[in-house]
Amino acid sequence: MLYSKLLIPTLKDDPAEAEVISHRLMVRAGMIRKVAAGIYDYLPLGWRTVRKVAEIVRQEMDRAGAQEVMLPAVQPSELWKESGRWDYYGKELLRLKDRHDREFCIAPTAEEVITDLVRREVKSYRQLPMNLYQIQTKFRDEIRPRFGLMRGREFIMKDAYSFHKDTASAEAEYWNMYETYKRIFTRCGLNFRAVEADTGNIGGSFSHEFMVLAETGEDFIASCDSCDYAANVEKAECREPEIVDKSRLPREMLEEEEVELPIEKVHTPGKKTVEEVAEYLHVPLKKIVKTLIYKSAIGSKSLAILVRGDHEVNEIKLNRFLESSGFSEVALADNETVERVTGAPSGFAGPVGLPKDVPIIADKAVLGMKNFITGGNEADTHLPNVNIKDFAIQLGIGYLAAQGKEAFLDLRKIVSGDPCPKCGTGKIEIFKGIEVGHIFMLGTKYSEAMKCTYKDDNGDDKPMIMGCYGIGVSRTAAAAIEQNNDKNGIIWPAPIAPFEVIVLPLNVNDKGVMDAATEIYNALKKAGVEVILDDRELRAGFKFKDADLIGFPVSVVVGEKNLKDGLVEVKSRSAGEALRVRVSEAARKTGEIINEKKGTDC
């Protein structure tokens, strides 16, 4: 391709709206343009990269035995009502009506449609298992789209759905997809981790997320430094030392085994946060217990959650424990509620003396604490030397007691340095990641709701066991940039670069330069290399800047000076240094470097 003929509107200035690197660079490199909030045009370069990611996904999915289909983007409400998600999905589901006033939605995912297809066309266990996928534009009406392609409303996704006669088959396919995903992201040249994940509102029993490690990631990953454990922080369980058997306590816990002292009361004017209190009273954060008032979304019931001062509540865990308790979907209470419940301004809540109808639930880590500091339920007051016996943890949420659950639960977010929940000996490290893939064991949630059944070998109808597997194709392209860039621009992993090589004749008006460049360009094209010839009549510096910004893995620089000696430069974007080779050797050498890059990136 000739550069002069391509639509590559690069920008010298950063676009004002772009916050993260991938967004900035994709706009500057002329890959995307915004049409509306979270909705973008893909220009030739951007689209080439997206297509390359999609092609890798397609090849690996096919290799894994899946079949590609194409499902509708606009879907009738009936199917969504059948699964129950029409009401449940919320505002992210963009709904619309056709001219006959029939309700539709723009698909954010396709469980309903695929389940409908399979229930109509697949009848027998002999036809199972089956894995169907599509690569398609999806729409989710995100509350706040941001970060360019990382979190758009419209995005390109590969979604796959598998159907099985039994759990064993479904699990086998789950792990088949797990391996397939590893191959896909490896082939894309990405540094990623597969982590245990929460299943969210898709439902199902277990799942893994594939995370590209990057500072700008929105997800936090807990990873063990000695075993292979890795999980989304939302999901990661916390292993608390068993405190029942004192002889087995680690030394640092033993220090907590002090004599319980009587409660005191201190004046802490304006010290609302644990940090402020710790500093004011000269105690470590670990000596404080935070009391957080939560409020149910429905009704106005409140409850108090206790966590150690240096810990944070994991609301996903909390809500899971509270499922079907009447405390559905709790969230941090507003200041008004806090004042009503505790009788003190926000910042001074504590477990001692809370109204009886406010149940107290504590994180397990609190169980090991003695003589800790809590809020006094009174303005500018904290209570040192509080102990668990002082406030009678209310096993009071009746259902907890009824279920034999304790009021000390795993409710906190795991933090760096915690013991690994799996091996127990390793320490947890926290990384940031971008979710590019997610695999779920769905079970029978959709097949039961939508009567997607098969006849087993006895002729009985059974619901199919399902799995579903997503990859954010456009997001993967953005994640690759987050992970591969420098101050000059993008450094594409060769397998997903929009072009593999750029040939840069520094002076297009010099016949010798142009002839040599054209010769190399033609030879590369003939060899099947994706090459672009920068035939623009521009200064050298300009061309270099564009080439670096766009991030071609290899550039071939043809300049008058080197050409006098019959030489050109072959430069690798990632390595930086230039290799001088003869014109006649240039194409072969460049091809070698590209193949090597594609090889090592695999």
- Give the footprint of RNA on this chain (CB under 7 A): 10-13, 15-17, 19, 28, 34, 36-38, 90, 92, 108-109, 138, 140, 142-147, 151, 155, 157, 198, 200-202, 218, 315, 331, 435, 437-438, 440, 470-472, 475, 488, 506-507, 509, 539-542, 544-549, 557-563, 569, 571, 578
- Dihedral sign, Cα of residue 407, residue 411, residue 415, residue 421: positive
Q: How far is the CB of 157 from RNA (least distance, A)?
A: 4
Query: Which among 592, 496, 554 is positioned nearest to 49, based on CA atoms?
Result: 496
| Closest to RNA by CB, 143 or 259 | 143
| Closest to RNA by CB, 17 or 323 | 17
Q: How far is the CB of 142 from RNA (least distance, A)?
A: 6
Half-sphere exposure of 284 (CA within 13 A, CB side): 8
Q: How far is the CB of 185 from RNA (least distance, A)?
A: 13
Q: How far is the CB of 404 from RNA (least distance, A)?
A: 28
| Closest to RNA by CB, 104 or 440 | 440
Q: How far is the CB of 437 from RNA (least distance, A)?
A: 7
Run of H or E residues at 436: strand 428-443
As given in the structure block, the two tokens for residue 481 are 């940039």
Q: Which residues contact 570 (CB under 8 A, 6 or more apart)?
A: 554, 555, 556, 557, 578, 579, 580, 581, 586, 589, 590, 593
| Closest to RNA by CB, 12 or 251 | 12
Q: How far is the CB of 576 from RNA (least distance, A)?
A: 8
Q: How far is the CB of 155 from RNA (least distance, A)?
A: 5
Q: How far is the CB of 156 from RNA (least distance, A)?
A: 8
**How far, in Å, CA of 66 to CA of 176, rounded?**
10
Which residues face 485 on adjacent strands? 490
| Closest to RNA by CB, 218 or 237 | 218
| Closest to RNA by CB, 155 or 408 | 155
- Residue 449 and residue 84 in contact, taking contact as beta carbons nearer than 8 Å: yes
CB pairs under 8 A, 24+ apart, for 256-264? Answer: 256/368, 256/369, 256/370, 257/370, 258/370, 258/371, 260/370, 260/371, 260/385, 260/387, 260/389, 261/371, 261/385, 262/385, 263/352, 263/383, 263/384, 263/385, 263/386, 263/390, 264/383, 264/384, 264/385
| Closest to RNA by CB, 354 or 563 | 563
| Closest to RNA by CB, 29 or 367 | 29
As given in the structure block, the two tokens for residue 415 are 């933090």
